[in-house]
Structure 1
Amino acid sequence: MIRKVWAGGLAAALAACATVPDTPSYPEARPYAVTANAASEVDAALARAAASGKRVLLVMGANWCHDSTALAGWLATPRFAALTAARYDVVYVDVGVPQTGKGRNLEIARRFGLDSVPGTPALLVLTAEGKLINRDTAATWRNAASRSEEAIFAELAALADTPAP
């Protein structure tokens, strides 16, 4: 009897696993490259933003992180690409694994007033002068893979128009 119950439970568990989709419900991209000087890439984005009147969308993440690749995937879609092309200069910075003490480029976040990067990704919206627009929400993007396309788009559109502090 116990074997039948155990076998039935195992069959139910396997059936549940079989219904999990092979692909995530969000697009993915892996643009986080380990570069020689990420700070100079950020400086270049700030200079381009000053010339264009845009803001800098500084995405601090890692290719190993599903939330980072989900956010990057959304940003690569035509809808988001149109928004970012019109309103932002986007720069991706690889931060390694900051939550385990193996982070890199964390001084970039500190430069703009974000004391820590407790997880990935962090999303900083900067004026061309380097003022952080979204201090309260910059480190809250660790759940980007579970956010809806609409919620992400609405927040990025609103941050593009948020007055500088």
Structure 2
Amino acid sequence: MVTLAPLALALAACATTAPGQQAAAGHHGAHDYPEAASYTVTENPSAEVDAALERAAANGTRLLLVMGANWCHDSRALAGWLETPRFAALVEQHYELVFVNIGMPQTGDGHNLDIARRFGLDGLPGTPNLLVVTAEGELVNADTATTWRNAASRSEDAIYTELLDLAAQPA
């Protein structure tokens, strides 16, 4: 006999904020985004990155590469912010946005980590990671790319300001 209780508990844990952590007012948490499609496993994420870099070269923009997973409340919160009208306008003006599913790199079950290595990141300590890359393939934010694991607790204004600064930062 199969019991669904463990599955239900696991799914409930993915859809809520981590124990002891509560999203502050004005912050997005996993509960705000029941099933983000942003980190859907795709057939060829490297080709998606290549196409976005070509668009960046043609449009004078940068690649905004968000590497995360749907199980992660911080990844889903960041994806949720990027879907709002305020962030969508910023992205449209300055970036070519690509989401890449990376599984659970912190447990050894990482996926698509070769994409991060391509831009000089040897390891991803968790999710999400936010890479800003020039059209020529230069990582602009090597010092902060892997620091987004607290995205759900960051304020909208802080995230917006950082993305706006990264759009103008020299490579």
TM-score bracket, shorter-length normalisation: 0.7 to 0.9
- 1:81-120 map, 5 Å: 81-120=88-127
Match for residue 56 of structure 2? 49
Q: 5+ residue gaps in structure 2?
A: 1-21
Extract unaligned runs of 5+ from structure 1: 1-19
Q: Residue 75 of structure 1 aligns to which amino acid in structure 2?
A: L
Identity of aligned residues (%): 66
Higher share of residues assigned helix: 1
Residue of structure 1 in register with 2:157 after alignment: 150
Runs of 4 or more consecutive aligned structure 1 residues displaced over 2 Å after TM superposition: 27-30
Between 1:29-38 and 1:123-132, the stretch displaced more is 29-38
Partner deviation per Cα, 1:77-103 (whole Å, 9 max, x = no partner): 000000000000000000001000000
Residue matched to 1:138: 145
Structure (1 or 2) with the larger CA radius of gyration: 1
Q: How far apart, CA to CA, are the structure 2 residues paired with 1:25 and 1:127?
A: 29
Q: How many residues are aligned here?
A: 144
Query: Which of 77, 80, 85 is the aligned partner of 1:70?
Result: 77
C-alpha contact 1:49 1:88 (8 A) present in aligned 2: yes
- Equivalent residue number for residue 45 of structure 2: 38
RMSD of aligned C-alpha atoms? 1.7
State the distance in 1 between where 2:68 and 2:136 align: 23
Query: Retained in 2: the 8 A contact 1:30–1:72?
Result: no
| 1:148–1:25 distance in 2 versus 1, CA, 3 Å | closer
TM value normalised by structure 1:
0.84
